[in-house]
């Protein structure tokens, strides 16, 4: 895990407070294996099925990270699950939790309900960023509906081009990361695509390069897609017949 974090060159790593033991029988936790001076810890509320549960675990994480002096103490990747089979969030509970935690000074990265949900409500509630799903969780099928991601980006960046939109869920390989970044997303949050790869360390490098390449391609601006071919070489100055 530590080698993959270094290889990916990430600056933020997320930890599931609801699912991770804070301290094991040896007095260690996953935080014992992370470089807290280099990495910002982003606590997440995965496994919480109500606003109350998510709020409680966000507060627990803030207390823990405050004692450790990590700059992610007031951060939270927020979602309240609504369906245990698809693991899609409950939009109403997630919005309620966002409103409460923002009032308490948290910097919420809120997760909308589905890939078809235009999450302007989370931004309006004070979320400092939105984590949009490329697909339902852990299917490894990539960005299934890029048009909806474009709509989400349009909603959230209209008049606020620097507002962060992160893609989560479904990233299985490097090309999925490039697609997300080429759409104009600001980052990709992933775990399984690296952790479950046959060679996790090599995949971590691939994800890093794909992220950089996708972002550069977005900034460069791709050529338009056309129905008919256009000669790429100019006609001017050609040899006369």
pLDDT digits (tens, 9 = 90+) for 1-33: 999 999 999 999 988 877 656 667 777 777 788
CA angle 218/222/226 to nearest 5° reads 150
| DSSP, res 97 | H
Q: Which residue has the higher pLDDT, 148 or 208?
A: 208
Residue in 77, 85, 198, 208 annotated catalytic: 77
Q: How confident is the model at residue 135 (pLDDT cuts 50, 70, 90)?
A: low
Determine the pLDDT at residue 89.
78
Confidence at residue 119, expressed as pLDDT on a 0 to 100 scale: 60
Q: Is 123 a catalytic residue?
A: no
The reported pLDDT for the residue numbered 126 is: 86
Provide DSSP, 31-79: GGGS-TTTPEEEEE-TT--SHHHHHHHHHHHHHHHHHHT-TTTTEEEE-
Res. 200 pLDDT band, cuts 50 70 90: very high
- 69: closest CA among 26, 39, 111? 39
Task: Tell me: pLDDT of 134 over 90.
Answer: no
| Whole-angstrom distance, CA of residue 99 vs CA of residue 127 | 8
Digit-coded pLDDT (tens) for 30-65: 778 888 888 888 888 888 999 999 999 999 889 888
| Least confident window among 112-116, 122-126, 201-205 | 112-116
Lowest mean pLDDT among 13-22, 59-68, 134-143, 182-191: 134-143
- For residue 81, give the nearest of 113, 106, 122, 33 by alpha carbon: 113
Q: CA 153, 156, 162, 164: dihedral to nearest 10 degrees?
A: -80
- pLDDT given for residue 227 in this prediction: 84
Q: With pLDDT > 90 as the criterion, what percentage of the chain qualifies?
A: 35
pLDDT of residue 19: 60
Mean pLDDT of all residues in 170-194: 91
Closest CA to 98 of 109, 113, 84: 109
Give tens-digit pLDDT for 74-122. Answer: 999 988 888 777 777 788 898 899 999 999 999 988 876 554 555 677 8
Residue 211 backbone phi and psi in degrees, to 5:
-65, -45
Where does the pLDDT of residue 201 fall: very low under 50, low under 70, confident under 90, or very high at 90 and above?
A: very high
Least confident stretch, 18-27, 85-94, 126-135, 181-190: 18-27
């Amino acid at each position: 895990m530590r080698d993959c974090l270094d290889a990916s060159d990430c600056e933020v790593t997320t930890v599931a407070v609801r699912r991770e033991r804070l301290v094991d029988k040896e007095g260690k936790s996953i935080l014992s294996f992370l470089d807290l001076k280099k990495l910002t810890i982003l606590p997440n509320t995965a496994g919480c099925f109500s606003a109350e549960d998510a709020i409680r675990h966000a507060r627990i994480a803030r207390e823990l990270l405050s004692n450790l002096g990590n700059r992610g103490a007031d951060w939270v990747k927020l979602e309240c699950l609504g369906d245990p089979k698809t693991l899609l969030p409950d939009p109403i509970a997630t919005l309620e939790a966002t409103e409460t935690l923002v009032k308490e000074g948290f910097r919420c990265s809120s997760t909308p309900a589905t890939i078809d949900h235009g999450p302007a409500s989370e931004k309006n509630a004070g979320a400092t960023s939105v984590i949009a799903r490329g697909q339902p969780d852990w299917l490894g099928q990539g960005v299934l509906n890029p048009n909806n991601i474009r709509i989400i980006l349009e909603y959230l960046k209209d008049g606020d081009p620097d507002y962060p939109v992160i893609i989560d869920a479904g990233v299985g390989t490097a090309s999925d990361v490039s697609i997300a970044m080429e759409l104009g997303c600001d980052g990709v949050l992933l775990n399984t695509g690296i952790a479950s790869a046959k060679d996790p360390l090599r995949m971590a490098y691939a994800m890093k390069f794909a992220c950089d390449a996708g972002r550069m391609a977005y900034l460069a601006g791709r050529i338009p897609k056309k129905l008919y071919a256009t000669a790429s070489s100019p006609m001017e100055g050609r040899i006369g017949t």
